[in-house]
C-alpha cells in the first residue's frame, strides 16, 4: 500500500543527514514506494477547518551535499495525506505549540506522528517527572532558595533550561563552585520559565544511553559517551556513539513507560538513561535511528514504517 507522507521539518537543506532521524524515516518510506512531501512548519495555514500548506514533492538520497531534490511546489489540504511526520527540532516554544493545535485538526483521520495533543501535553523535561521514582533527584524551579536547599542536600548539581535541547546551556555546578551565583544570574536573565536542577551523576562519563521505543516497545539503543572534558553526551556536542545492550534496569524502565506512551499515541520516543536513572523522555524529534543502524543494531526506521503501515491499513 503506497502512502502519501508529508514531513514537517526544519528545511531539509539544513540537516546533517549522518544523524538525522527524519531523514532516515524518509529514506525508508521512499524505499517502500511511499510518496514524500516536504514542508517547514511556518507554511501551515488553518483556514476554517482545513489545514492548508505549500509542500514540495521530495526525492531523497543518502549522499551528503546532494541529499534531496524537489518537485514543483503545491498547495495542498493536509487531510489528503495519509501520514504527517511532525519532525522539526525544538525549541518547544509557542510556534511549536501553535503547530500542534493546527495539526490536531486533521488527526487521527490523517495520522500525525507523534499525536500533536500528546506532544503538546508532554514537554520533555516535565513529562518525565511522571516517573520521578525512576529519575535522579530533580527540582523544577526558578526560585533561588529552592535551588540553594537542593544544592545543600545533593552537592554537585546540573542546571539546564526546561525547554532547551541538544545539550545547549547545560552546566555542572560543584558544591563549592564560586561561579554558582553568576550562573544563577545568567539563567534568571535568560530564561523566564523554570529550570531543571538535577543531582549530578558521575557515571555520565561512561555514557548517556539513548533508547528508542516504537509504539511503546523497545526498538534499539545507543550509548553516547561525552567527549573528553565535556559534560554533555549529545552527539551534536561531540558525544561518541557506541553500541549497547539494555541492562535489566533499563528493560524495567521501558516496561514502565511503554503502556503510557502507547496510550498517548507517542509513537516514536527516545528516552535518556544515565547509570540506570531516567533523565528525559524525548517526544518531539528524537534522534538515534541512524547511529543505531550504523553500529549494527536494529533497523528502527523499518520498524517504524512496519507499524505505521499496519496502522494505516487497519
Report the catalytic residues.
125, 160, 210, 224, 232, 272, 280, 282
Which residues, in sequence order, are CB contacts of 249 under 8 Å at separation 6+? Answer: 276
Query: What values do phi and psi take at 172, rounded to 5?
Result: -95, 135
CB 285 within 8 A of CB 266: no
Which residues, in sequence order, are CB contacts of 136 under 8 Å at separation 6+? Answer: 198, 199, 201, 274, 277, 279
Q: Is the dihedral of CA 171, 119, 52, 59 positive or negative?
A: positive
**Quick one: cell of 181?**
551565583
Query: What values do phi and psi take at 167, rounded to 5?
Result: 80, 10
**Quick one: cell of 286?**
528524537
Q: Is the dihedral of CA 226, 232, 233, 234 positive or negative?
A: negative
Which residues, in sequence order, are CB contacts of 244 under 8 Å at separation 6+? Answer: 207, 209, 221, 222, 223
Q: How many CB atoms lie within 10 A of CB 299?
A: 16
Beta bridge partners of 223: 209, 242
What's the rounded Cα separation, in Å, for the pair 101 and 106? 10
* Cα–Cα nearest to 220, from 262, 275, 261, 269: 269
Do the bridges between strand 157-161 and strand 138-141 make them parallel or antiparallel, or are there none, so unpaired? unpaired
**Quick one: cell of 255?**
516496561
Amino acid at each position: 500500500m503506497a502512502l502519501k507522507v508529508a514531513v514537517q521539518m526544519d528545511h531539509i537543506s539544513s540537516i546533517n543527514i549522518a544523524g538525522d532521524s527524519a531523514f532516515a524515516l524518509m529514506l525508508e518510506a521512499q524505499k517502500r514506494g511511499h510518496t514524500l512531501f516536504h514542508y517547514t512548519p511556518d507554511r501551515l495555514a488553518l483556514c476554517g477547518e482545513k489545514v492548508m500548506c505549500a509542500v514540495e514533492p521530495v526525492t531523497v538520497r543518502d549522499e551528503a551535499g546532494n541529499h534531496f531534490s524537489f518537485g514543483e511546489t503545491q498547495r495542498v489540504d493536509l487531510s489528503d495525506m495519509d501520514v504527517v511526520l511532525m519532525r522539526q527540532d525544538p525549541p518547544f516554544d509557542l510556534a511549536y505549540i501553535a503547530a500542534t493545535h493546527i495539526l490536531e485538526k486533521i488527526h487521527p483521520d490523517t495520522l500525525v506522528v507523534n499525536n500533536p495533543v500528546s506532544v503538546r501535553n508532554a514537554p520533555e523535561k516535565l513529562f518525565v517527572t511522571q516517573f520521578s521514582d525512576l529519575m535522579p533527584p530533580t527540582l523544577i524551579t526558578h526560585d533561588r532558595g529552592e535551588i540553594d536547599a537542593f544544592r545543600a542536600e545533593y552537592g554537585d548539581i546540573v542546571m539546564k533550561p526546561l525547554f532547551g535541547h541538544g545539550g545547549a546551556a547545560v552546566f555542572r555546578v560543584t558544591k563549592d563552585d564560586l561561579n554558582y551565583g553568576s550562573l544563577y544570574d545568567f539563567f534568571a536573565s535568560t530564561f523566564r520559565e523554570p529550570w531543571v536542577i538535577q543531582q549530578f551523576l558521575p557515571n555520565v562519563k561512561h555514557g548517556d544511553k539513548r533508547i528508542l521505543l516504537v509504539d511503546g516497545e523497545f526498538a534499539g539503543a545507543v550509548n553516547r559517551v561525552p567527549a573528553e572534558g565535556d559534560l554533555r553526551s549529545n552527539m551534536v556536542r561531540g558525544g561518541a556513539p557506541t553500541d549497547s545492550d539494555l541492562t535489566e534496569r533499563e528493560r524495567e524502565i521501558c516496561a514502565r513507560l511503554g503502556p503510557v506512551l502507547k496510550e498517548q499515541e507517542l509513537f516514536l520516543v527516545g528516552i535518556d538513561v544515565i547509570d540506570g536513572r531516567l533523565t528525559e523522555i524525548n517526544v518531539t524529534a528524537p534522534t538515534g535511528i541512524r547511529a543505531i543502524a550504523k553500529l549494527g543494531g536494529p533497523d528502527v526506521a523499518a520498524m517504524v514504517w512496519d507499524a505505521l503501515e499496519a496502522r494505516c491499513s487497519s
